């Protein structure tokens, strides 16, 4: 399971629960910030991210026509 798939599943669970919207927004912000910081750290180490030519956005073709 990819990070975004896991994030989406957790987000759906939180949206379906009785959690306050402000708590859900705070949680999502923390998750995005942690992902951003991990990306910065990986970039500083010279790590290469391999996406296998897939788009990170759903609904868009992987390659431009």
Torsion angle (degrees, nearest 10) of CA 25, 17, 10, 44: 20
**pTM (predicted TM-score):** 0.61
* 8-64 residue pLDDT tens: 999 999 999 999 999 999 999 999 999 888 888 877 777 666 667 666 666 655 555
Q: Please spell the DSSP secondary structure of 7-53, one letter per residue.
A: HHHHHHHHHHSS--HHHHHHHHHHHHHHHHHHHHHHHHTT-----TT
**What region, left, alpha or beta, does residue 8 occupy, with left being phi > 0 and alpha being psi -120 to 50 degrees?**
alpha
pLDDT of residue 30: 94
């Amino acid at each position: 399971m990819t990070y975004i798939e896991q994030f989406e599943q957790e987000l759906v669970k939180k949206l379906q629960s009785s959690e306050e919207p402000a708590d859900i927004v705070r949680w999502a912000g923390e998750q995005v910030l942690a992902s951003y910081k991990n990306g910065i750290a990986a970039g500083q180490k010279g790590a290469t991210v391999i996406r296998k030519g897939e788009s990170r956005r759903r609904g868009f073709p992987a390659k431009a026509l």
